[in-house]
Amino acid sequence: MILSFHPCFTADHQIILGDRSLHEEDHQRIRNARAVILPQGRDDGVFRECRDSGTPTFPNYEMRQAYPGKVGQSRLFQEFQLPHPGTFRWKIVEAQKKMPKPPHEFPFVVKDDKSHEAQGVFVVNDSESLKAALDFLALKEGIDNKEFVTQDFIPSGGNVLRSVIMGNQVLTYWKRPVKPGQIITTISKGARIDHDWKPELQEKGRKQARVLANRTGINLAAVDFVFPLSEASPEPLFLEINYYFGRRGLGGMDAYYRLLFRAIQDWLEEIGLDSGTVELV
């Protein structure tokens, strides 16, 4: 039996959880299933139940659970020997405040562990802007966050390459700044999507995304890369992994689900199951 928890894909059996927790009947169906399709944003008890039952899942969220947040991802990049900007991890803001000197040369980047879409990301150019970033993190420390990272600044001109892993496919596009001097670039802040710029660097990003997928088993994620563009032949550096990501760069919602459907079908066939039992609704 193929079991789907995804509202857009039917299978031999489909369960729409919404915001409820698993019932005993759900646990039993997971244990009896030969494969489980999960919604993209759900990585909690459903995935853990599948993992504990030995049931294959798509997406595979093993790395998402094992290396959470930007702190966890920095460990993942280090342990799997993936090229990334020089990074330090900090347990509490006070530990960094007591450092006799900044951990990197100015400018460098400070990143809140759990923020998204560049919230809690600061480019610090001097001691004053470093203090402002740390004051922000100190306020959050008592609420929901006790970790952050500092990272070398990579002169990319604000250009970020997104490589989207969808099963065996890797699709790339650039997030490019729309204002002169813009350094932090996100789609939600109005970045320009560019599918054509620097195709040779896009190919390098696709290759590195496949390395990540092969080493870790990640099969659905958007990986952001930066390139030191001042170099003659720049190589991609892993910036972060987004397990829940926007669709605009992939052509919108409908195009995204068609691509995802193909990825799920390929995955089912690879593990020896009938992909025809799954339908996109």
125-144 pLDDT, tens per residue? Answer: 998 998 888 888 887 656 55
- Percent of the chain at pLDDT > 90 equals 70
Confidence of residue 34 (pLDDT cuts 50, 70, 90): very high
Residue 3 DSSP SS3: strand
| 42, 30 Cβ separation under 8 angstroms | no
Top pLDDT among 151 and 188 is at 151
CA distance 231 to 233: 6
Give residue 20's Cα distance to chain centre: 25
CA distance 84 to 74: 8
Buried-exposed string 125-148: b where 16+ CB fall within 10 A, e elsewhere: eeeeebeebbebbeebbeeebebb
175-190 pLDDT, tens per residue? Answer: 999 887 677 777 766 6
> What DSSP designation does 80 have?
T
> What pLDDT is attached to residue 189?
67
The ranges of the chain annotated as CATH 3.30.470.20 are 160-254
Query: Omega of the bond prior to 59 within 30 degrees of 0, cis?
Result: yes
191-207 pLDDT, tens per residue? Answer: 899 999 999 999 999 99
Confidence of residue 32 (pLDDT cuts 50, 70, 90): very high
Query: pLDDT averaged over the chain?
Result: 91
CA distance 271 to 34: 9
36-85 pLDDT, tens per residue? Answer: 999 987 656 788 889 899 999 999 999 999 999 999 999 999 999 999 99
**Tokens standing for 156?**
């990319």
CA distance 158 to 65: 30
> What pLDDT is attached to residue 18?
80
What would the mean pLDDT of 107-124 be, rounded to a whole number? 85
The ranges of the chain annotated as CATH 3.30.1490.20 are 86-152
For the range 243-250, what are the long-range contacts, defined as Cβ-Cβ under 8 Å and sequence gap of 24 or more? 243/40, 243/43, 243/59, 243/61, 243/64, 244/40, 244/41, 245/162, 245/164, 245/221, 246/187, 246/188, 248/187, 248/193, 249/162, 249/164, 249/173, 249/175, 249/187, 249/193, 249/195, 250/164, 250/171, 250/173
> What pLDDT is attached to residue 274?
96
- Mention the CATH class of domain 86-152: alpha beta
Q: Is the pLDDT of residue 30 over 70?
A: yes
Q: How far is CA 73 from CA 77, 81, 191, 280, in A?
A: 6, 12, 24, 32
User: Which residue in 157, 198, 194 sits closest to 174, CA to CA?
Assistant: 194
234-260 pLDDT, tens per residue? Answer: 999 999 999 999 899 999 999 999 999
Q: Is the pLDDT of residue 27 over 60?
A: yes
CATH of domain 160-254: 3.30.470.20
> What pLDDT is attached to residue 170?
98
Give the number of other Cβ atoms within 10 Å of residue 190's Cβ.
11
In this structure, which amino acid lies at residue 148?
A: F
